[in-house]
Amino acid sequence: MNEKVAVATVCGRAYFHIINMFKEYNIPFTSLVPGRAVPAKVCLVITTPEEHHLIDFDRVLVFCGEEELDSLLNATKRLMLGKEAYEKIVIGIDPGEAIGLVTIADGKVIVEETCYSNHQMLLCIQKILKNIDYTLTNVTIKIGNGVPVYRDLLEELNYALPGQVVLEVVGEAGTNRPLKRHSRSRKIRHISSAIHIAGRLGNSVQRRPMIAANHTTQ
């Protein structure tokens, strides 16, 4: 990819957080002094609220603090693909002691995570969906049924996520491939399984407060 993101700020703290994020996710970037002309190969400019008025460019994202880096990263990836909004997001989940999670937006993997608790998984999904406009984007979460714990994950997702999110349970047969036993290979296996789960047809889950339903049966 020849096009780059320009980081236009003289704020050292903002610059540090932004470029470290881009380096971690291999996003090509260039540095720019606010107020200077934007080079032709730049497709997006990142700046701060205080310097926004100095940027003469049609695609600008604003760094609003370290706690908003995930949202900034997701928006950067989307705009670099030339999309104002994704049409379809599919999140695949491979349950287990380590939870594989992938997000596929309009056919492209944009997030890969390995989570080690239900809480961590839910926080990751909520960050991914934080700024989604459900009138523009269809969101489906597919969870594999290979281990009984998937029911607990499904209950938490059903209870915590907006009603516009479609939940599906997917058969896991054939999604797990044997790999070497070191930790890096296990992470790759969980992510690979989550990708396969995201690509399969599943059975839709009726969106209802499952916790309340469980209480009525006691």
Rounded to whole angstroms, how far apart are CA atoms 160 and 56? 40
Of 80, 107, 127, the one marking the end of a domain is: 80
At 173 the pLDDT is 73
For residue 157, the enclosing domain spans 88-216
Residues 59 and 120 in one domain: no
At 49 the pLDDT is 96
Domains of the chain: total: 2
Give 10-residue mean pLDDT values along the chain (218 residues): 85 96 92 94 95 95 92 91 92 93 94 92 92 94 92 90 94 61 61 93 80 40
**Mind giving me the DSSP string for 64-133?**
--GGGHHHHHHHHHHHHTT-SS-SEEEEEEE-SSSEEEEEEETTEEEEEEEESSHHHHHHHHHHHTTT--
Tokens coding 161: 């996520």
What is this structure's pTM? 0.78
Residues 32 and 135 in one domain: no
Tokens coding 183: 């930790």
Of 45, 63, 80, the one marking the end of a domain is: 80
Name the strand (E) or helix (H) holding 192. helix 183-198
Residues 208 and 118 in one domain: yes
